[in-house]
A and B are shown apart, each in its own frame.
Chain A
Amino acid sequence: MEITKILKDKTCTFKLEGRLDTLTSPQLEDALKEVPEDAEQLVLDLKDLEYVSSAGLRVFLNAQKNMAGKGEMILRNVNDEIMDVLEMTGFTQILTIEKE
């Protein structure tokens, strides 16, 4: 999986490319440790994300919890395949999602 970090003002964006699964989700977990303390918005751009399993959802959920109180987390450019998984697990109810 490729992760690109873009920092602009108080918004920290990570573009994810490839597959977010049991083996690659620790990469995202590590990357998210670099979100600045004063960031008010965390954006995960999923345009080029092909696949997500429960291991990836776990990282999304923790990121959401970490941002609670200081700002928001947005899943951006969510494609149909990823949307199916988010719907299946009820994550559409608890995460802020912007479809592609």
Chain B
Amino acid sequence: MTQAMEYRSTDPEKACIVEREFEAVDEQLHDVLGFLEEELEKHGAGRKQMMALSLAMEEAFVNVAHYAYEGMEPGKAWVSLSFYDDQLTITLKDTGIPFDPMANEDPDITMSAEQRKIGGLGIFMIKKSTDSCSYERKDGYNILKMNKAIR
């Protein structure tokens, strides 16, 4: 696993934050999810919440792996997990092409199987499986934050 940096703050007065760096490629997906799920277990996350957060993490990470560095050398993705009480914020950063997934139009999920298009489904699933999400472009980074109660 690429792990250039891991910062862990465990001051009980503050949020517990863990951050790791990954290559932004599909092959890293299981390492990314392993990292998330291990931390969720440590913090006593519920089973349904774990599933939903893994889903959001996969869709967001794969999106970066597929599109952020399109036409460039594969870049990095940074995943940070911030736990405070029963709240988790996942922050995913990359230095790729500016892209606001939250501005993406939701797919029409009422269409028949024949008409169904699969594009945009991943981003829609991020929104549906978290409590809130936000995007900003700052200092050359795409920064996607996903929040959810873990219990």
Which residues of A approach B to under 8 Å, CB–CB? 21-23, 51, 53-55, 57-58, 61, 64-65, 68, 81, 84-85, 88-90, 93-95
Contacts and interface: CB of A to CB of B under 8 A. Distances in A.
Which of A22, A51, A54, A93 is packed against the most chain B CB atoms within 10 Å? A54
A22 B29 CA distance: 8
B4 interface: no
Query: Which range contains the number of B residues in contact with the other chain?
Result: 20 to 34
Interface of B: 26-27, 29-30, 33, 47-48, 51-52, 54-55, 58-59, 62, 109-114, 116, 118, 121-122, 124-125, 128-129
Main secondary structure of the interface of A (DSSP, over half): helix
A68 to B, nearest CB: 7
Main secondary structure of the interface of B (DSSP, over half): helix
B61 to A, nearest CB: 9
A54 B118 CA distance: 8
A54 B57 CA distance: 12
- Closest 8 A/B residue pairs (Cβ): A90-B109, A94-B113, A54-B122, A54-B121, A58-B118, A88-B128, A53-B58, A22-B62
